[in-house]
């Protein structure tokens, strides 16, 4: 018979094996970033914060672009102390307000002459029905349209700094998404779970179309599924908060969740894979809807119309 200590040791060992299985890939590149400039949205917490920490450790000048500046300053102070890199800066960016996005971009472009990596990391999940300052459904407005506009406003600086990269966080949830052009704002029917899925599909389609339009510019782009991560993203769902606590040992840490973002931002030789979708630090398959070029192009045009911009 096994003693209780032996059983506990076995369960602990087994649990660690399972957790490591779910942990996924690790960014292996040793690329250093001295002299490089990075913008990361939502980097005051979670995956974004860990991404900022690693890029700062590699010598980059990192801009934490976030809505809560106080939390951003706290994160930046922690990262500066941890990495001994003083060039971790915080700037106000509210992706639910196009005026804030434009103000951030205007300030950044006046401040910096280069931009080598843009990581569209911020996002919302499972929000009750609400609209942004510009009248967009919140998931669509923040997760897709906000980053769409931000990328457009910073694109010339990325081109001038090439080789450069744009990394956009999506999710495996895109498989359940659909671009409902007849009801993009969810006014006819709204389900907050599906609204999140639709916005994550939009992220993959945006990356696909952006890659096509950036061919030959030296700027490449990638969509990322970070994994199922212990983070604040589920804060709008009481049920998911409970499930996250219950299954916490099997979820990725924020450090593990940041690895695929880092891989796509840093790994050598990824240029031929521009426009692709990555999970666990490797290219992986997307849903049939995410491979539809006509949908990607139509979403691009509709996004421009909604934002009142031109982007050929």
Show which residues are catalytic.
196
Alpha-carbon radius of gyration of the chain: 19
Alpha-carbon span 142 to 94, nearest angstrom? 9
Q: Structure tokens of 56?
A: 């700062």
- Asked if 37 and 161 count as a contact pair (C-beta separation under 8 A), the reply is yes
Tell me the CB-side half-sphere exposure of residue 292, using CA atoms within 13 A: 16
Dihedral in degrees, nearest 10, Cα atoms 196, 200, 205, 211: 150
Q: Using CA of residue 230, residue 74, residue 132, residue 151, what is the dihedral sign?
A: negative
Helices (H), the chain: 4-23, 46-57, 69-83, 98-111, 138-139, 147-160, 192-213, 238-246, 254-257, 259-266, 293-307
Going by DSSP bridges, is the β-strand pair 219-225/277-279 parallel, antiparallel, or unpaired?
parallel
Alpha-carbon span 271 to 258, nearest angstrom? 20
Please, which residues have CB within 8 angstroms of residue 165's CB and are 6 or more apart in sequence? 116, 117, 118, 219, 220, 221, 222, 264, 265
Q: Structure tokens of 296?
A: 């990607």
- Asked if 154 and 105 count as a contact pair (C-beta separation under 8 A), the reply is yes
Give whole-number Cα distances, 304 to 24, 148, 201, 225, in Å: 36, 9, 17, 25
- Counting beta carbons within 10 angstroms of the beta carbon of residue 87, is it exposed (0 to 12), middle (13 to 18) or buried (19 or more)? middle
């Amino acid at each position: 018979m096994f003693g209780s200590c032996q059983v506990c040791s076995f369960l602990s060992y087994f649990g660690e094996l399972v957790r490591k299985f779910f942990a996924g890939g690790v960014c292996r590149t040793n690329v250093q970033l001295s002299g490089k400039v990075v913008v990361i949205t939502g980097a005051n917490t979670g995956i974004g914060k860990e991404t900022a920490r690693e890029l700062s450790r590699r010598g980059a000048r990192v801009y934490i672009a976030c809505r809560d500046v106080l939390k951003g300053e706290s994160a930046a102070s922690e990262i500066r102390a941890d990495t001994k890199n003083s060039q971790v800066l915080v700037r106000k960016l509210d992706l639910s307000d196009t005026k804030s996005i434009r103000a951030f971009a205007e300030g950044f472009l006046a401040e910096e002459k280069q931009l080598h990596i843009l990581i569209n990391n911020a996002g919302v999940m499972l929000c009750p029905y609400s609209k942004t300052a510009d009248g967009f459904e919140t998931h669509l407005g923040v997760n897709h349209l906000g980053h769409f506009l931000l990328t457009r406003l910073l694109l010339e600086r990325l081109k001038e700094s090439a080789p450069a990269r744009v990394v956009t966080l999506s999710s495996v949830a895109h498989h359940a998404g659909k671009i409902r052009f007849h009801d993009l704002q969810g006014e006819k029917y709204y389900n907050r779970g599906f609204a999140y899925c639709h916005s994550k599909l939009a992220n993959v389609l945006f990356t696909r179309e952006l890659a096509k339009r950036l061919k030959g510019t030296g700027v490449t782009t990638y969509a990322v599924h970070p994994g199922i991560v212990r983070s604040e993203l589920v804060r709008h769902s009481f049920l998911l908060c409970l499930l996250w606590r219950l299954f916490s040992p099997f979820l990725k840490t924020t450090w593990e969740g940041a690895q695929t973002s880092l891989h796509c931002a840093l790994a050598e030789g990824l240029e031929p894979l521009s426009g692709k979708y990555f999970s666990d630090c490797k290219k992986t398959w997307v849903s049939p809807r995410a491979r539809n070029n006509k949908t990607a192009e139509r979403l691009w045009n509709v996004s421009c119309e909604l934002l009142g911009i031109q982007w050929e």
